[in-house]
Amino acid sequence: MPFRHRLRTGLLPALSMAAVIATTVGALPQQEPDRPPRGLGAPDAGTVIIDLGFKVLPGALPVLYPPDQPGDLATQMRRRQVALLEARAFWWNMIGALPEGGVIGVDSAHWTACGLTQAYGYPASRVWSREYGLLTLLPLDPGTTFSEEAAMAVQVAPPIHSSRLLAYGLADEAGAAAYTEAWSWILLGESLVSSLRIEASTWWQRRLVGASAAALFLTSPRGAELAPGLANVLDAWCWFWTGYARPVALDLRGCAAAPPVGPGPQGLELDARLYLLGRRIWSSWGTDCFDRYRQAWPIGSRFASVTAALDTLLAVMPGLDEWPERLFSPRPEEPPRLPALPRREEPPRP
What's the pLDDT score for residue 331?
77
- 189 within some domain: yes
Q: What is the pLDDT of residue 55?
A: 94
Q: What is the pTM of this model?
A: 0.84
pLDDT of residue 27: 31
Give the pairing of strands 55-57 and 133-139.
unpaired
Whole-angstrom CA distances from 164 to 28, 122, 230, 234, 264 are 34, 21, 14, 11, 22
In total, how many domains does the chain have?
1
In a domain, 121, yes or no: yes
Q: What is the total residue count of the chain?
A: 350
Q: Which pLDDT belongs to residue 22?
A: 32
One-letter amino acid for residue 289 of the chain: C
List the domain range (segments joined by +) for residue 90: 40-328
How many angstroms separate the CA atoms of 114 and 92, rounded? 32
Question: Within a domain: residue 297?
Answer: yes
Helix (H) / strand (E) element for 127: namely strand 126-129
At 242-283, the pLDDT tens digits run 999 999 899 999 998 888 876 679 999 999 999 999 999 999
Residue 51 lies in a domain: yes
312 is a domain residue: yes
Domain contains 32: no
Helix residue ranges, H only, the chain: 11-16, 18-24, 46-51, 72-95, 108-113, 145-156, 159-167, 173-190, 203-218, 221-226, 230-244, 266-285, 288-296, 306-316, 323-328
- The residue ranges of the chain whose pLDDT is under 70 are 1-39, 70, 262-263, 332-350
Residue 252 belongs to some domain of the structure? yes
Tell me, yes or no, whether 272 lies in a domain. Answer: yes
**What does the pLDDT read at residue 39?**
67
